[in-house]
Amino acid sequence: MNFRQLRTLVHIGELGSLSKAADRLHVAQPALSRQIRALEDEIGTPLFTRHGRGMVLTQTGELLVERANNILRQVEEARADAISSGGWVRGSVVIGMPPTVADILAGRLAKEFADQHPDVNLRFVSAFTSHLIEGLQKRNIDLAILYDPKSHGSLHIKPLLQEDLFLVAPGKAKLSLKKPVSFKELSAETLLLPGGQHSIRQLVEYHAREADCELKVTMEADSLSLLKNFVSLELGSTILPLPSVYQNIEEGLLSAAPIIDPSPTRTLVLATATDRAVSNATQRAVEMIKQEVAEMIAKNIWVGLPL
């Protein structure tokens, strides 16, 4: 089994066609066919089911493709790191973020990388914490920002920020960042919140139980843009971190106020998998995330406590 065979397996598995893989790899079909037959002979079981329309991976083939992708990626990362040791960072990084963080941070991070490290290929994944943890464990994600994760022995975790949440209402409500509202006052609000899987919803409901406060949630949306749109249409209020609505507040479209007694806060962390080395490009992403968060805190765009 060699890298060339594994690369051939991955491409045929993705394209489902020997001819398409040959075109992509610029290799004659018979050569690719011999590589796959050699792999099947070595393993002792078929990796593809052949039919008139192409080739479909068997269960064994799917398992080997997953492992092959990890191996080939590590080889590429090792090559990129060797080149980067001279000071020029290159390679690829898959960064996972919860939706509320992605809308705040991904654009800033993408611009910084484009300016400083044009040879780094970035891919962003926006998903809930549970999905991001699974991606880290399966090596589909290199680095993730997570909210309040439970202890995971498979992850290396570095605290990033303790983030404050705000009551967000239409601009005409005239909420003020200098005038907090008590948590019990939320019972008088028509609330628009994310669904039960979302960390904001779980945190708000936890504090509501602690404060013996009954909340009136009339609509759910897991999309940050939808929540902001619904609030701007005066369908109710929501609860979000300040950076996600900062620009809208500046424009007068929305208004926001801190929440006290208690103050709902979330802890953000940076996470990588413990069973793989952190590439130079991924380490640079860690540094840039910390820099961007610190800058936003200094400008009062992101309210919270750096950790």
Q: Contacts by 221-228 with C-beta closer than 8 Å and gap 24+?
A: 221/192, 221/194, 222/99, 222/194, 222/195, 222/197, 222/198, 223/99, 224/99, 224/100, 224/103, 225/103, 227/192, 227/193, 227/194, 228/168, 228/254
- Cα 269 to Cα 238: distance, rounded to the nearest angstrom: 24
Per-residue pLDDT at 83 exceeds 60: no
pLDDT at 62: 86
**Most confident among 12-21, 162-171, 292-301 (mean pLDDT):** 162-171
- Fill in the amino acid letter for 261: D
First to last CA, the chain: 46
pLDDT at 239: 95
Q: How far is CA 218 from CA 185, 206, 234, 238, in A?
A: 16, 18, 13, 11
Domain ranges in the chain are 3-82, 89-161+267-302, 163-266
Q: Domain 163-266: give its CATH architecture.
A: 3-Layer(aba) Sandwich (3.40)
Residue 84 has pLDDT above 60, yes or no: no
With contact defined as beta carbons under 8 Å apart, do 194 and 201 qualify? yes
The model's confidence at residue 78, banded by pLDDT at 50, 70 and 90, is: low
Please choose, from the candidates 261, 265, 267, 100, the residue with its C-alpha nearest in 3D space to the C-alpha of residue 187.
261
Average pLDDT over residues 32-53: 86
What percent of the chain has a predicted confidence (pLDDT) above 90? 32
* Greatest pairwise CA separation for the chain in angstroms: 73
Averaged pLDDT, 197-222: 89
The Cα 254–Cα 53 span in angstroms is 54
For residue 274, the tally of other CB atoms under 10 A from its CB is 13
- Domain 89-161+267-302 adopts which CATH fold? D-Maltodextrin-Binding Protein; domain 2 (3.40.190)
Question: Is 275 a residue whose pLDDT tops 80?
Answer: no
Res. 77 pLDDT band, cuts 50 70 90: low
Is residue 76 within 8 Å of residue 7, measured between CB atoms? no
Residue 1 scores a pLDDT above 80: no
> Going by CATH, does the domain composed of 3-82 fall within 1.10.10.10?
yes
More confidently predicted of 133 and 88: 133
**pLDDT digit string (tens) for 97-141?**
988 788 888 999 999 888 888 888 889 998 888 889 888 888 889
| Whole-angstrom distance, CA of residue 47 vs CA of residue 270 | 37
* pTM flag (> 0.85): no
Q: Do the domains 89-161+267-302 and 163-266 sit in the same CATH topology, yes or no?
A: yes
- In this predicted structure, what is the pLDDT of residue 116? 86
Task: Take residue 50 and report the two structure tokens written for it.
Answer: 């052949």
pLDDT averaged over every residue in the chain: 86
pLDDT reported for residue 196: 86
